[in-house]
């Protein structure tokens, strides 16, 4: 079970995933509580033009960073009011930014392979330099999260109460959107958009079924990512070495995370039957963005 | 030579049909805030389409089955307290995409298929796609026409519709399945990003001009078809990806509508001040 | 110094007034009750005091400053049904939110903060529930937790939006008792309700609103059949107390 990770590139891939586990566990708790799934999905798509322009200019990292920050600001402003509802605004910003990226790459010859590497990342070719960049961003994200956590919990639980207590809700929303954007930038090159979306959404949703505490959710989320990361890398290694099946490591990690989520659904049901009183449902199945 | 033999002619016809389809259902998507669900549907039908093409059945069938599973899955997961719809939708989106990607990766011609799934290949639509889209257009138009009154009631005043005895839950399922049919029809031809863009942007723009359902729907269809044609022209003129240029034209129309709505409201605001 | 002074004030959103002609003066330790039908503008008035809804005309002073400048200094108890009962947060954490502004961004909570939280929970009679998840409590208990949160912030002016809506008799009694204790200690209180019995029992001052201010004064002066009928329009059926 350890043997694949004695190979240097596998060890680097595992290191990268473990770094991401440390930041994505806590961040996903806020994504879950603030119902930012769609925003996260949008951010992973909207960094694409930044990546493309950055790649052309030889400054891939800077390009992604600029695009992420621009989108975070735009999403905050769009959802802060106006007649276009926030989910429609998010959808349009997502498709528009992604289309700009596609227009830019469609003029290049290696069009489809560029797009593929953006979707899946290059987890198995992560360089020590990339790991260092991820580590720096991880520290920035954790500090930003630690500073804002209390205020963001208050704002999430009771927006009017937080505003009355003197917090500027728009600034707190921007703060969180920027944190999510930084996670996307840290992760997207190594693991690709598919995995980033999953890392931001699935862990906390799964952890919520095990615990009623925010800190507990963050810890469980981190453990789940670390476990799925290890298992996914191991599975893709074994599949290709022993069975000759091409199993992309990023998608096996996602599939393991989703499997954990589905396995935990019955746990949640059992726990509730024992403990909670029956309260009428809040959610309609069809008001899909909170 | 037959008019239909030209790829650009076929693309033009497809864009008109798909635009009408997207514009029709888009109004419901925007009024009911189903954008993220639409996005999830586009990704989640992916494994169905791939699986169908691997085992050699009609890919539309695969898409319909996968989309149905997702629609029911989101509904089932969100019936539980503490699992809000947004997270459940996100989970299914990730799962569908990862599953589809895994299946694609086992086949050859991997990256080519994947990028056409994302951004479509409208310039390669065949007569078969055109027929499918036309049939879907007729079916969807009939369903939306038949359900116009209850859907309108539910969209504008859900509680009121329930009180008036409209079977809200049943119409919700009808709407989700209609949306699924639209997505399954459009994605193989135009790709996921363009499908979402054509469904949401023109309807959101139309919403800025009027609050009444019929004019909104008509305007939404017109804007969607218009963005399709204009985007196709831009694409052939400057040799950029067709799907992306159509989606950018649709976005530009929304931005203009938003500005126009701002300017229209300005006199009222000044008068109030 | 008055805790709250409104002179000829209009409040509303987007330059459209919701409530006009408000003239009030509230001193430390007084209890002001806003009475009016649904949609009368009671919540809007409360939010204007908190600095969350702009004052469109007139002169408003909250704790000696403009409402925007005083933002964060007045306490606020929102309606319970605006909160997500499913949110994974304990009763103690909710009450601690009242201390967040004092704690600041960096520092962990101090013993003084923990003591204030425990005392506030003790006051509303829910000390034994501190570790429970907020959403598992009954509506009335949740309302008392939110009241404890406001108390933990030690405000000199406290605003409560419909604190008796969907609240059981035990909790209503507990809330009334706590409110009396707070005003005896010098806190100025503003609360909205459409329960005239509570208003008569609790108010020093009553402000009768519906789109505009119709009357202000002692309960005896304002809650008269004639004034209520003019504020509520013809639709009100009065039941003799």
Mean pLDDT of all residues in B197-220: 90
Q: Report the range out of A12-26, A60-74, A121-135, C95-109 with the highest average pLDDT.
A: A12-26
Number of domains in chain A: 1
User: Percent of chain C, pLDDT > 90?
Assistant: 34
Least-confidence region, from A118-122, A180-184, B28-32, C47-51: A118-122
**Element of type H or E holding C12:** strand C4-13
pLDDT in tens, A40-50: 989 988 888 88
Asked if residue B82 has pLDDT above 50, the reply is: no
What is the pLDDT at residue C19? 87
Query: Where residue C33 falls among pLDDT bands split at 50, 70, 90?
Result: very high
Asked if the structure places residue A282 within a domain, the reply is no
Give the span between the Cα atoms of C211 and C232, in whole angstroms: 10
What is the pLDDT at residue A288? 36
Please tell me which residue, B259 or A274, carries the higher pLDDT value: B259
Asked if the structure places residue A167 within a domain, the reply is yes
String of DSSP letters for B83-148:
--HHHHHHHHHHHHHHHHHHHHHHSSSHHHHHHHHHH--GGG--HHHHHHHHHHHHHHHHHHHHTH
Asked if the structure places residue A281 within a domain, the reply is no
Asked if the structure places residue A249 within a domain, the reply is yes
What is the pLDDT at residue C147? 94
Nearest to A279 among B81, B90, B194 (CB): B81
Model confidence, pTM: 0.87
User: Percent of chain C, pLDDT > 70?
Assistant: 96
Put simply, whether B108 touches A (Cβ < 8 Å) is no
Put simply, whether B273 touches C (Cβ < 8 Å) is yes
In angstroms, the separation between the Cα of residue C210 and the nearest Cα of chain A is 23
Query: Where residue C82 falls among pLDDT bands split at 50, 70, 90?
Result: confident
What is the CA A6 to chain-centroid distance, rounded? Answer: 28
Structure token digits, residue C16: 């459209």
In angstroms, the separation between the Cα of residue C101 and the nearest Cα of chain A is 7
User: Percent of chain B, pLDDT > 70?
Assistant: 87
Range of the domain at A188: 3-275
Nearest Cα to A248, choosing from A191, A197, A200?
A: A191
What is the pLDDT at residue B145? 87
What is the pLDDT at residue A139? 95
User: Percent of chain A, pLDDT > 70?
Assistant: 89
Q: Do A160 and C105 touch (CB under 8 A)?
A: no
Least-confidence region, from A11-25, B110-124, C154-168, C181-195: B110-124
What is the pLDDT at residue B37? 87
String of DSSP letters for A176-201:
HHHHHHHHHHHHHHHHHHHHHHHHHH
Q: Do C15 and B273 touch (CB under 8 A)?
A: yes
What is the pLDDT at residue A285? 35
Q: Do B78 and A201 touch (CB under 8 A)?
A: no
Averaged confidence pLDDT in chain A: 83
* CATH code of A105's domain: 1.10.3470.10
Asked if residue A279 has pLDDT above 70, the reply is: no
Note the ipTM here: 0.87
Least-confidence region, from A163-172, A197-206, B20-29, B239-248: B239-248
Nearest to C86 among A160, A167, A282 (CB): A282
Q: Do A150 and C89 touch (CB under 8 A)?
A: no
Task: Specify the pairing of strand C188-193 against strand C157-160.
Answer: parallel
Query: Where residue B78 falls among pLDDT bands split at 50, 70, 90?
Result: low
Averaged confidence pLDDT in chain B: 82
Mean pLDDT of all residues in A154-158: 92
Mean pLDDT of all residues in A154-177: 91
State the count of interchain CB pairs (< 8 A) between A and C: 78
What is the pLDDT at residue B266? 66
Question: SS3 string of B116-134?
Answer: HHHHCCHHHCCHHHHHHHH
Neighbour count for residue B3 (Cβ, 10 Å): 8
Asked if residue B263 has pLDDT above 60, the reply is: yes
What is the pLDDT at residue C183? 92
Mean pLDDT of all residues in A48-73: 85
Asked if the structure places residue A284 within a domain, the reply is no
Q: Do C16 and B82 touch (CB under 8 A)?
A: no
Question: Which residues are CB-contacts of A159 (< 8 A; sequence separation ≥ 6)?
Answer: A169
A84: which DSSP letter? S
Nearest Cα to C32, choosing from C215, C238, C174, C224?
A: C215
Put simply, whether A282 touches C (Cβ < 8 Å) is yes
Mean pLDDT of all residues in C170-195: 91
Nearest CA in chain B to C88: B82
Give the span between the Cα atoms of B220 and B214, in whole angstroms: 10
What is the pLDDT at residue A281? 38
**Chain C residues closer than 8 Å to B272 by CB:** 14-16
Please tell me which residue, B10 or C190, carries the higher pLDDT value: C190
Mean pLDDT of all residues in B91-120: 74
Give the span between the Cα atoms of C44 and A138, in whole angstroms: 42
Nearest CA in chain B to A87: B35
Asked if residue C74 has pLDDT above 50, the reply is: yes
Domains identified in chain C and CATH numbers: 1-74+157-241 (3.40.50.300), 80-154 (no CATH)
Nearest to C86 among B81, B269, B273 (CB): B81
**Chain A residues closer than 8 Å to B158 by CB:** 284
Put simply, whether C15 touches B (Cβ < 8 Å) is yes
Nearest to C86 among B82, B269, B272 (CB): B82
**Chain A residues closer than 8 Å to B114 by CB:** 112, 115-116, 119
Residue with tokens 């013993």: C111
Angle value at C-alpha A111, between A100 and A47, nearest 5 degrees: 40
pLDDT in tens, A189-247: 778 887 888 999 999 999 988 888 899 999 999 999 999 999 999 988 888 888 877 77
Q: Is A11 within 8 Å of A234 (Cβ atoms)?
A: no
Mean pLDDT of all residues in C150-158: 92
SS3 C236: coil
In angstroms, the separation between the Cα of residue B86 and the nearest Cα of chain C is 15
Least-confidence region, from A64-78, A115-129, A224-238, B10-24: A115-129
C partners (3+ CB pairs within 8 A) are A, B
> Residue B114 — left, alpha, or beta (φ > 0 → left; ψ -120 to 50 → alpha)?
alpha
Q: Do C15 and B272 touch (CB under 8 A)?
A: yes
Domains identified in chain B and CATH numbers: 3-272 (1.10.3470.10)
What is the pLDDT at residue A121? 75
Q: First-to-last CA distance in chain C?
A: 36
In angstroms, the separation between the Cα of residue B42 and the nearest Cα of chain C is 30
Structure token digits, residue A160: 């009017």
Q: How many CA atoms lie within 13 A of A198 on its CB side?
A: 33
Give the span between the Cα atoms of B93 and B99, in whole angstroms: 10
Query: Where residue A112 falls among pLDDT bands split at 50, 70, 90?
Result: low
pLDDT in tens, A117-139: 777 777 778 888 888 988 999 99
Asked if residue B272 has pLDDT above 70, the reply is: no
Mean pLDDT of all residues in A137-147: 93
Asked if the structure places residue A245 within a domain, the reply is yes
Put simply, whether C12 touches B (Cβ < 8 Å) is no
Structure token digits, residue B230: 């204009």
What is the pLDDT at residue B108? 62
SS3 A228: helix
Q: Within chain C, what is the greatest distance between any pair of CA atoms?
A: 56
Query: Where residue C146 falls among pLDDT bands split at 50, 70, 90?
Result: very high
Put simply, whether B196 touches A (Cβ < 8 Å) is yes
Please tell me which residue, C92 or C218, carries the higher pLDDT value: C92
What is the pLDDT at residue A136? 92
A partners (3+ CB pairs within 8 A) are B, C
Least-confidence region, from B156-165, C101-110, C158-167: B156-165
Residue C204 backbone dihedrals phi, psi, to 5 degrees:
-85, -40
Mean pLDDT of all residues in C200-206: 88
Least-confidence region, from A256-260, A277-281, C79-83, C126-130: A277-281
What is the pLDDT at residue A49? 87
Structure token digits, residue A142: 């954790």
Asked if the structure places residue A45 within a domain, the reply is yes
Mean pLDDT of all residues in B188-198: 84
B partners (3+ CB pairs within 8 A) are A, C
Give the span between the Cα atoms of A281 and C86, in whole angstroms: 10
Mean pLDDT of all residues in B155-164: 79
Asked if the structure places residue A264 within a domain, the reply is yes
Neighbour count for residue B63 (Cβ, 10 Å): 28
């Amino acid at each position: 079970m350890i043997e694949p990770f004695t190979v240097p590139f596998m060890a680097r891939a595992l290191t990268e995933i473990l770094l991401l586990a440390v930041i994505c566990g806590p961040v996903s708790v806020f994504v879950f509580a603030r119902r930012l799934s769609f925003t996260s999905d949008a951010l992973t798509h909207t960094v694409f033009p930044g990546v493309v322009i950055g790649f052309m200019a030889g400054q891939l990292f800077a390009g992604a960073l600029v695009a992420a920050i621009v989108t975070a600001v735009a999403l905050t402003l769009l959802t802060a009011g106006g007649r276009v509802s926030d989910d429609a605004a998010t959808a349009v910003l997502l498709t528009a930014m992604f289309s700009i990226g596609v227009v830019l790459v469609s003029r290049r010859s290696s069009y489809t392979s560029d797009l593929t590497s953006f979707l899946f990342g290059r987890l198995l070719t992560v360089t020590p330099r990339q790991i260092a960049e991820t580590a720096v961003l991880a520290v920035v994200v954790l500090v930003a999260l630690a500073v804002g956590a209390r205020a963001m919990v208050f704002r999430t639980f009771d927006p009017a109460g937080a505003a009355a207590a003197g917090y500027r809700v728009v600034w707190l929303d921007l703060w969180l959107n920027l944190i999510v954007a930084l996670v996307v930038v840290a992760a997207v090159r190594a693991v690709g958009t598919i995995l980033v979306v999953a890392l931001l959404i699935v862990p906390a949703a799964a952890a919520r079924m095990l615990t009623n505490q925010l800190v507990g959710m963050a810890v469980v989320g981190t453990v789940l990512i670390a476990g799925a990361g290890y298992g996914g890398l191991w599975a893709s290694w074994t599949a290709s070495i022993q069975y000759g099946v091409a199993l992309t490591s990023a998608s096996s990690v996602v599939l393991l995370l989703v499997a954990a989520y589905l396995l935990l659904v019955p746990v949640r049901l059992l726990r509730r039957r024992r403990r909670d009183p029956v309260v009428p449902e809040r959610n309609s199945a069809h008001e899909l963005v909170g | 030579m037959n008019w239909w033999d030209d790829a650009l002619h076929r693309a033009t016809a497809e864009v008109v049909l798909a635009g009408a389809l997207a514009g029709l259902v888009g109004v419901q998507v925007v009024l009911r805030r189903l954008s993220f669900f639409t996005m999830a549907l586009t990704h989640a039908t992916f494994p169905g389409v791939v699986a169908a093409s691997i085992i050699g059945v009609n890919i539309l069938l695969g898409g319909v089955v996968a989309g149905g599973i997702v629609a029911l899955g989101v509904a089932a997961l969100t019936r539980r307290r503490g699992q809000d719809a947004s997270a459940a939708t996100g989970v299914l989106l990730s799962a569908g995409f990862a599953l589809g990607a895994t299946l694609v990766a086992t086949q050859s011609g991997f990256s080519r298929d994947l990028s056409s799934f994302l951004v479509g290949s409208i310039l390669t639509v065949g007569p078969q796609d055109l027929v499918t889209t036309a049939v879907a257009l007729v079916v969807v138009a009939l369903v939306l026409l038949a359900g116009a009154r209850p859907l309108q009631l539910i969209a504008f005043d859900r509680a009121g519709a329930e009180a008036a005895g409209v079977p809200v839950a049943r119409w919700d399922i009808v709407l989700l399945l209609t949306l699924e049919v639209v997505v399954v029809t459009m994605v193989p031809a135009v790709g996921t990003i363009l499908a979402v863009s054509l469904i949401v942007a023109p309807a959101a723009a139309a919403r800025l001009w009027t609050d009444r359902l019929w004019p909104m729907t008509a305007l939404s269809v017109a804007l969607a078809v218009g963005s399709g044609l204009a985007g196709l022209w831009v694409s052939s003129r400057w040799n950029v990806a067709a799907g992306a240029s159509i989606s950018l034209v649709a976005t530009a129309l929304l931005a203009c509508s938003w500005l126009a709505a701002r300017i229209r409201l300005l006199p009222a605001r000044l008068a109030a001040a | 110094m008055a805790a709250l002074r409104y002179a000829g004030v209009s409040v509303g959103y987007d330059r459209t007034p919701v409530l006009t002609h408000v003239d009030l003066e509230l001193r430390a330790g007084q209890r002001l009750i806003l009475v009016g039908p649904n949609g009368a503008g009671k919540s809007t008035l409360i939010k204007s005091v908190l600095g969350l809804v702009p004052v469109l005309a007139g002169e408003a002073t909250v704790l000696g400053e403009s409402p925007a400048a005083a933002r964060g200094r007045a306490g606020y108890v929102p309606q319970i049904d605006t909160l997500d009962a499913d949110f994974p947060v304990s009763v103690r954490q909710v009450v601690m939110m009242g201390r967040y502004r004092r704690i600041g961004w960096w520092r962990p909570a101090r013993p003084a903060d923990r003591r204030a939280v425990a005392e506030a929970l003790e006051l509303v009679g829910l000390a034994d529930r501190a570790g429970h998840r907020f959403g598992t409590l009954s509506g009335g208990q949740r309302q008392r937790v939110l009241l404890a949160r406001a108390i933990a912030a030690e405000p000199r002016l406290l605003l409560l939006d419909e604190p008796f809506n969907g609240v059981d008799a035990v909790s209503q009694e507990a809330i009334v008792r706590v409110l009396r204790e707070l005003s005896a200690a010098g806190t100025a209180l503003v609360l909205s309700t459409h329960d005239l019995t509570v208003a008569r029992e609790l108010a020093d001052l009553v402000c009768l609103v519906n789109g505009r201010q119709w009357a202000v004064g002692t309960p005896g002066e304002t809650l008269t059949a004639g004034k209520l009928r003019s504020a509520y329009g013809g639709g009100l059926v009065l039941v003799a107390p």
